[in-house]
Protein backbone atom coordinates (compact mmCIF):
# COMPACT_ATOMS: atom_id res chain seq x y z
CA UNK A 1 0.00 0.00 0.00
CA UNK A 2 1.35 3.41 -0.98
CA UNK A 3 1.12 6.20 1.55
CA UNK A 4 -0.70 9.41 0.46
CA UNK A 5 1.55 11.89 -1.35
CA UNK A 6 4.09 9.28 -2.36
CA UNK A 7 4.90 7.90 -5.78
CA UNK A 8 4.19 4.21 -6.24
CA UNK A 9 7.42 2.33 -6.94
CA UNK A 10 7.39 0.40 -10.20
CA UNK A 11 8.71 -2.94 -8.92
CA UNK A 12 10.11 -4.84 -5.96
CA UNK A 13 13.59 -4.08 -7.32
CA UNK A 14 12.77 -0.36 -7.31
CA UNK A 15 11.58 -0.68 -3.73
CA UNK A 16 14.75 -2.54 -2.72
CA UNK A 17 16.95 0.10 -4.34
CA UNK A 18 14.97 2.88 -2.70
CA UNK A 19 15.33 1.28 0.75
CA UNK A 20 19.10 0.89 0.31
CA UNK A 21 19.44 4.50 -0.84
CA UNK A 22 17.29 5.71 2.04
CA UNK A 23 19.39 3.85 4.61
CA UNK A 24 22.64 4.98 3.01
CA UNK A 25 21.96 8.69 2.58
CA UNK A 26 21.45 10.75 5.73
CA UNK A 27 20.18 13.73 3.72
CA UNK A 28 17.23 11.68 2.44
CA UNK A 29 16.29 10.66 5.96
CA UNK A 30 16.20 14.33 7.01
CA UNK A 31 13.55 15.13 4.42
CA UNK A 32 9.94 15.36 5.51
CA UNK A 33 8.67 13.19 2.66
CA UNK A 34 9.92 10.00 1.05
CA UNK A 35 8.84 7.81 -1.85
CA UNK A 36 9.00 4.86 0.54
CA UNK A 37 5.66 3.69 1.98
CA UNK A 38 6.65 4.08 5.64
CA UNK A 39 5.12 5.89 8.58
CA UNK A 40 6.86 8.49 10.73
CA UNK A 41 7.45 5.86 13.41
CA UNK A 42 8.96 3.46 10.88
CA UNK A 43 11.13 6.27 9.52
CA UNK A 44 12.48 6.94 13.01
CA UNK A 45 13.38 3.28 13.46
CA UNK A 46 14.98 3.23 9.99
CA UNK A 47 17.03 6.28 10.95
CA UNK A 48 18.39 4.55 14.06
CA UNK A 49 19.12 1.39 12.12
CA UNK A 50 20.92 3.38 9.40
CA UNK A 51 23.13 5.06 12.02
CA UNK A 52 23.91 1.64 13.50
CA UNK A 53 24.92 0.31 10.06
CA UNK A 54 27.10 3.36 9.32
CA UNK A 55 28.80 3.13 12.72
CA UNK A 56 29.63 -0.55 12.14
CA UNK A 57 30.76 0.12 8.55
CA UNK A 58 33.15 2.93 9.41
CA UNK A 59 34.46 1.37 12.61
CA UNK A 60 35.41 -1.76 10.65
CA UNK A 61 37.23 0.29 8.01
CA UNK A 62 39.04 2.38 10.59
CA UNK A 63 40.29 -0.77 12.31
CA UNK A 64 41.38 -2.32 9.00
CA UNK A 65 43.09 0.82 7.72
CA UNK A 66 44.88 1.92 10.88
CA UNK A 67 47.09 -1.08 11.55
CA UNK A 68 50.18 0.71 12.84
CA UNK A 69 49.20 3.84 14.76
CA UNK A 70 47.18 1.87 17.40
CA UNK A 71 50.49 0.40 18.56
CA UNK A 72 51.20 3.86 19.99
CA UNK A 73 47.92 4.10 21.91
CA UNK A 74 49.83 4.33 25.20
CA UNK A 75 51.74 7.34 23.86
CA UNK A 76 48.93 9.41 22.35
CA UNK A 77 46.11 8.04 24.52
CA UNK A 78 43.77 7.10 21.68
CA UNK A 79 43.44 5.17 18.42
CA UNK A 80 41.47 5.62 15.23
CA UNK A 81 38.61 3.31 16.19
CA UNK A 82 37.80 5.62 19.11
CA UNK A 83 36.67 8.26 16.60
CA UNK A 84 33.26 6.57 16.41
CA UNK A 85 32.66 7.42 20.08
CA UNK A 86 33.12 11.17 19.60
CA UNK A 87 30.59 13.96 19.14
CA UNK A 88 32.23 14.79 15.81
CA UNK A 89 31.40 11.31 14.53
CA UNK A 90 27.79 11.62 15.70
CA UNK A 91 27.54 14.80 13.64
CA UNK A 92 29.13 13.01 10.70
CA UNK A 93 26.46 10.28 10.86
CA UNK A 94 23.79 12.94 10.35
CA UNK A 95 25.29 14.02 7.02
CA UNK A 96 27.17 11.06 5.53
CA UNK A 97 26.34 8.97 2.49
CA UNK A 98 27.49 5.47 3.33
CA UNK A 99 30.42 4.39 1.15
CA UNK A 100 30.75 7.67 -0.75
CA UNK A 101 34.15 9.25 -1.39
CA UNK A 102 33.15 12.68 0.02
CA UNK A 103 32.02 11.02 3.26
CA UNK A 104 35.24 9.01 3.46
CA UNK A 105 37.24 12.22 2.99
CA UNK A 106 35.24 13.99 5.68
CA UNK A 107 35.78 11.19 8.18
CA UNK A 108 39.48 11.10 7.25
CA UNK A 109 39.71 14.78 8.23
CA UNK A 110 37.97 14.08 11.53
CA UNK A 111 40.30 11.15 12.22
CA UNK A 112 43.43 13.12 11.37
CA UNK A 113 42.41 15.87 13.81
CA UNK A 114 41.57 13.26 16.45
CA UNK A 115 44.98 11.55 16.18
CA UNK A 116 47.07 14.71 15.89
CA UNK A 117 48.15 15.37 19.46
CA UNK A 118 51.08 17.01 21.21
CA UNK A 119 52.34 13.56 22.25
CA UNK A 120 53.62 12.46 18.86
CA UNK A 121 55.77 9.31 18.98
CA UNK A 122 58.21 10.79 16.46
CA UNK A 123 58.66 13.31 13.67
CA UNK A 124 57.46 10.61 11.26
CA UNK A 125 54.01 10.46 12.91
CA UNK A 126 52.39 12.78 10.36
CA UNK A 127 53.56 10.61 7.48
CA UNK A 128 52.28 7.48 9.20
CA UNK A 129 48.84 9.05 9.64
CA UNK A 130 48.83 10.21 6.01
CA UNK A 131 49.62 6.64 4.92
CA UNK A 132 46.81 5.11 6.98
CA UNK A 133 44.35 7.82 5.98
CA UNK A 134 45.11 7.23 2.29
CA UNK A 135 44.49 3.52 2.85
CA UNK A 136 41.25 4.37 4.67
CA UNK A 137 39.95 6.35 1.69
CA UNK A 138 40.21 3.16 -0.38
CA UNK A 139 38.60 0.94 2.27
CA UNK A 140 35.74 3.33 3.10
CA UNK A 141 34.78 4.14 -0.51
CA UNK A 142 32.37 1.78 -2.20
CA UNK A 143 31.88 3.89 -5.34
CA UNK A 144 33.24 2.65 -8.66
CA UNK A 145 34.28 4.79 -11.59
CA UNK A 146 32.44 3.79 -14.78
CA UNK A 147 34.52 3.42 -17.91
CA UNK A 148 34.41 6.29 -20.38
CA UNK A 149 35.77 7.09 -23.82
CA UNK A 150 39.15 8.12 -22.42
CA UNK A 151 41.42 6.84 -19.62
CA UNK A 152 40.62 8.34 -16.21
CA UNK A 153 41.72 7.96 -12.62
CA UNK A 154 39.85 5.64 -10.27
CA UNK A 155 37.63 7.80 -8.05
CA UNK A 156 39.52 7.09 -4.81
CA UNK A 157 42.99 6.59 -6.31
CA UNK A 158 45.58 9.04 -5.05
CA UNK A 159 49.30 9.62 -5.32
CA UNK A 160 51.10 10.98 -2.30
CA UNK A 161 54.71 11.94 -1.61
CA UNK A 162 56.03 11.05 1.82
CA UNK A 163 59.11 12.54 3.46
CA UNK A 164 59.90 9.30 5.28
CA UNK A 165 60.59 6.01 3.53
CA UNK A 166 57.35 4.30 4.58
CA UNK A 167 58.09 0.92 2.89
CA UNK A 168 61.16 0.59 5.12
CA UNK A 169 59.68 2.32 8.15
CA UNK A 170 56.44 0.36 8.54
CA UNK A 171 58.02 -3.08 9.23
CA UNK A 172 59.92 -1.58 12.17
CA UNK A 173 56.78 -0.50 14.02
CA UNK A 174 55.39 -3.92 15.10
CA UNK A 175 58.84 -5.05 16.22
CA UNK A 176 59.49 -1.80 18.14
CA UNK A 177 62.74 -1.21 16.27
CA UNK A 178 64.17 2.31 16.51
CA UNK A 179 63.24 4.58 13.61
CA UNK A 180 66.43 6.40 12.71
CA UNK A 181 66.76 9.65 10.79
CA UNK A 182 68.36 7.81 7.86
CA UNK A 183 64.82 6.74 6.89
CA UNK A 184 64.03 10.33 5.96
CA UNK A 185 63.86 10.17 2.19
CA UNK A 186 61.17 11.10 -0.31
CA UNK A 187 59.02 8.28 -1.62
CA UNK A 188 55.94 8.36 -3.87
CA UNK A 189 53.16 5.90 -3.02
CA UNK A 190 50.07 5.27 -5.10
CA UNK A 191 46.89 4.10 -3.33
CA UNK A 192 44.06 2.49 -5.27
CA UNK A 193 41.21 0.00 -5.12
CA UNK A 194 39.92 -2.48 -7.68
CA UNK A 195 36.23 -2.98 -8.43
CA UNK A 196 36.44 -6.18 -6.38
CA UNK A 197 37.61 -4.20 -3.35
CA UNK A 198 41.28 -5.17 -3.30
CA UNK A 199 43.41 -2.29 -2.01
CA UNK A 200 46.90 -1.43 -3.19
CA UNK A 201 49.60 0.86 -1.80
CA UNK A 202 52.54 0.70 -4.18
CA UNK A 203 55.73 2.67 -4.62
CA UNK A 204 55.97 4.20 -8.09
CA UNK A 205 58.88 5.44 -10.17
CA UNK A 206 58.99 8.71 -12.09
CA UNK A 207 57.43 7.46 -15.36
CA UNK A 208 54.44 5.83 -13.64
CA UNK A 209 53.96 8.91 -11.49
CA UNK A 210 53.75 11.26 -14.45
CA UNK A 211 51.45 8.96 -16.44
CA UNK A 212 49.06 8.78 -13.51
CA UNK A 213 49.19 12.56 -13.06
CA UNK A 214 48.57 13.22 -16.76
CA UNK A 215 45.57 10.86 -16.84
CA UNK A 216 42.65 13.22 -16.37
CA UNK A 217 39.79 11.85 -18.46
CA UNK A 218 40.51 14.42 -21.20
CA UNK A 219 43.43 12.76 -22.97
CA UNK A 220 43.78 9.64 -25.07
CA UNK A 221 46.56 7.17 -24.32
CA UNK A 222 48.67 8.71 -27.09
CA UNK A 223 48.08 12.20 -25.70
CA UNK A 224 49.05 11.02 -22.22
CA UNK A 225 52.29 9.63 -23.66
CA UNK A 226 53.03 12.98 -25.30
CA UNK A 227 52.29 14.91 -22.10
CA UNK A 228 54.46 12.48 -20.10
CA UNK A 229 57.32 12.65 -22.65
CA UNK A 230 57.53 8.87 -23.02
CA UNK A 231 56.92 6.47 -25.89
CA UNK A 232 53.39 5.31 -26.70
CA UNK A 233 54.49 1.71 -26.01
CA UNK A 234 55.81 2.56 -22.54
CA UNK A 235 52.71 4.59 -21.77
CA UNK A 236 50.40 1.77 -22.84
CA UNK A 237 52.27 -0.68 -20.61
CA UNK A 238 52.08 1.66 -17.62
CA UNK A 239 48.37 2.35 -18.16
CA UNK A 240 47.73 -1.39 -18.30
CA UNK A 241 49.54 -1.88 -14.98
CA UNK A 242 47.66 1.02 -13.39
CA UNK A 243 44.36 -0.39 -14.65
CA UNK A 244 45.10 -3.76 -13.05
CA UNK A 245 45.23 -2.15 -9.59
CA UNK A 246 42.25 0.15 -10.17
CA UNK A 247 44.31 3.34 -10.24
CA UNK A 248 43.22 4.05 -13.82
CA UNK A 249 39.98 3.11 -15.55
CA UNK A 250 40.49 2.35 -19.21
CA UNK A 251 37.81 2.67 -21.93
CA UNK A 252 35.67 -0.43 -22.30
CA UNK A 253 36.68 -2.64 -25.20
CA UNK A 254 34.17 -2.75 -28.06
CA UNK A 255 33.47 -6.38 -29.01
CA UNK A 256 34.59 -7.37 -32.49
CA UNK A 257 31.77 -9.45 -33.97
CA UNK A 258 33.36 -9.92 -37.40
Do 82 and 199 fall into the same domain?
A: no
Cα–Cα distance, 219 to 227 (Å, whole number): 9
Do 137 and 188 fall into the same domain?
A: no
Read off the pLDDT of each residue in 11-27 and give the average, rounded to a whole number. 62
- Dump the DSSP string for 131-193: HHHHHHHHHT----PPP-SS-EE-TT-EEEEEEE-HHHHGGGTTTT----GGGEEEEEEEEEE
Its domain, for residue 200, covers 145-258
Q: What is the CATH number of the domain that holds 153?
A: 3.90.930.50
Do 236 and 186 fall into the same domain?
A: yes
Over the stretch 189-206, which tens digit does the pLDDT of each residue have?
Answer: 999 999 999 999 999 999
Cα–Cα distance, 241 to 223 (Å, whole number): 18
Check pLDDT > 80 for residue 221. yes
Do 91 and 104 fall into the same domain?
A: yes
* Phi/psi at 167 (5° precision): -60, -30
Residues 6+ apart with CB under 8 A from 250: 147, 151, 239, 240, 243
Last residue of a domain, one of 111, 143, 175: 143
Do 70 and 93 fall into the same domain?
A: yes
Do 28 and 100 fall into the same domain?
A: yes
Do 139 and 23 fall into the same domain?
A: yes
Do 165 and 222 fall into the same domain?
A: yes
Residue 5 lies in a domain: no
Check pLDDT > 60 for residue 54. yes
Over the stretch 131-190, which tens digit does the pLDDT of each residue have?
Answer: 999 999 999 999 999 999 999 999 999 999 999 999 999 999 999 999 999 999 999 999
Do 119 and 29 fall into the same domain?
A: yes
Residue 6 lies in a domain: no
- Contact at 8 Å (CB) between 191 and 201? yes
Over the stretch 64-104, which tens digit does the pLDDT of each residue have?
Answer: 999 999 999 999 999 999 999 999 999 999 899 999 999 99
DSSP label at residue 34: -
Cα–Cα distance, 19 to 50 (Å, whole number): 11
pLDDT of residue 192: 98
Do 93 and 22 fall into the same domain?
A: yes
Stated pTM of the model: 0.85
- Contact at 8 Å (CB) between 205 and 174? no
Do 237 and 170 fall into the same domain?
A: yes
Do 161 and 54 fall into the same domain?
A: no
Number of domains in the chain: 2
> pLDDT higher for 51 or 225?
225
Amino acid sequence: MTMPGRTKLASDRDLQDAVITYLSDASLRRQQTSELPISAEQAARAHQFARFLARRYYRDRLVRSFRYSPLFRDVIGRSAEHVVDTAAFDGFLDECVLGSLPSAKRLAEITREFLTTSNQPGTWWGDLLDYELAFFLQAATAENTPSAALPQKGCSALLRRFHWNLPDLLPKIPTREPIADDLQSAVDLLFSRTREGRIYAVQVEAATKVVFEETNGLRSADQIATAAHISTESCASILTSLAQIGAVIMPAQTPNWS
